[in-house]
Structure 1
Amino acid sequence: MYTKAELSRIRKSFWTAFGTYMRPIPNAQGRRVNWQNYKTGVKEIYFRMKAERGFASVGIEITHRDEELQELFFEQFGQLRKILEESTKEAWEWKLHEQNEFGQVISKIEKVKPGVNVLNEEEWPEIISFLKPRMIALDEFWDLVKPGFEDY
């Protein structure tokens, strides 16, 4: 069993390692970017990465409090689904109106890798190899489609 402090230290070490690994990689516009805290520039749309016990995931979260507007954003992404799948070269899971770990209703489009454990440092390369190409692809996708979301 790990203490809360140990869990926190291990997770922090993982994200520091991930950030160090990703630091030299520019975004789609050739600029430096903080990959682990990616800023979409559009309120209520976030790119989230998770590395936990049992899975890693990367995705787009739509957190607008107004569920109808959240659904509109989700539908707008739905119209861009083919572009997303071409950018990432894979199908992603689409989830409208589900609760997150804080009890908030969100919608998300994500890819999950089950069977990995961030607490096992030997699995970090596998987790990073999962997250890296998907974040780069999301950035390229977002560079193409962001103007359509900026007016909301």
Structure 2
Amino acid sequence: MYSKEEASKLRQQFWITFGKYMKPIPSAEGLPINWVNYKTGVKNVFFRMNAEQKSASISIDITHADEATRKLFFDQFLAFKNLFSDAVNEDWNWELTAVNEYGIPLSQISKTVYDLSIFNQQNWPALITFLKPRIIALDQFWTDVKPIFEALG
């Protein structure tokens, strides 16, 4: 078991390592991009990557405070579900109604892998292998559909 400080340092070290690994890879538009802190450019729409003690996940989080607006954005993602599935090449979990770790409501489209730990450096290659193709696929998908979501804004 790690102290909070040790756990924080390991997390930080993993994300620095992941960022360095991803740095040479340009966005779908051929531009430099900060993959770890991906900016969608659309308010209240986030691409999040998370790695914890027993799992890792990647998600699209729709965090509009207004439930109707959140549903509108989620429904728009649903309209692009075939395009999304083609981009990620696998099934993801679609939740209209979810809550984050702070109890705040959101809609979420996510993929999770279990039995990998950010605290085991031997798992880091598998974590990177899980996250890398998915964040790249999200970027490619987003390049195609972002203008529609900007118009909803």
TM-score category by the smaller chain? over 0.9
Structure-1 residue corresponding to 2:62: 62
Post-superposition Cα deviations, 1:14-45, rounded to whole Å, max 9, x if no partner, equal: 00000000000000000000000000000000
Identity of aligned residues (%): 49
Q: C-alpha distance in 1, partners of 2:3/2:95?
A: 33
Structure-1 residue corresponding to 2:75: 75
One-letter identity of the residue aligned with 1:150: E
Structure-2 residue corresponding to 1:10: 10
Query: Are the aligned partners of 1:63 and 1:105 in contact in 2 as well (CA < 8 Å)?
Result: yes
For normalisation by structure 1, the TM-score amounts to: 0.99
Structure-1 residue corresponding to 2:143: 143
One-letter identity of the residue aligned with 1:125: P
Structure-2 residue corresponding to 1:101: 101
Structure-1 residue corresponding to 2:34: 34
Structure-1 residue corresponding to 2:20: 20
Secondary structure in 2 matching 1:13: helix
One-letter identity of the residue aligned with 1:95: E
Is 1:127 equivalent to 2:121 in the alignment?
Answer: no
Runs of 4+ aligned structure 1 residues displaced above 4 Å come to none
Shift of 1:96: 1.3
Q: C-alpha distance in 2, partners of 1:128/1:47?
A: 16
RMSD: 0.6
Query: Are the aligned partners of 1:42 and 1:149 in contact in 2 as well (CA < 8 Å)?
Result: yes
Secondary structure in 2 matching 1:98: strand
Q: C-alpha distance in 1, partners of 2:23/2:98?
A: 33
Shift of 1:97: 1.6
**Where in structure 2 are there 5+ consecutive unaligned residues?**
none
Query: Are the aligned partners of 1:64 and 1:106 in contact in 2 as well (CA < 8 Å)?
Result: yes
Q: C-alpha distance in 2, partners of 1:132/1:98?
A: 25
Query: Are the aligned partners of 1:117 and 1:123 in contact in 2 as well (CA < 8 Å)?
Result: yes
For normalisation by structure 2, the TM-score amounts to: 0.98
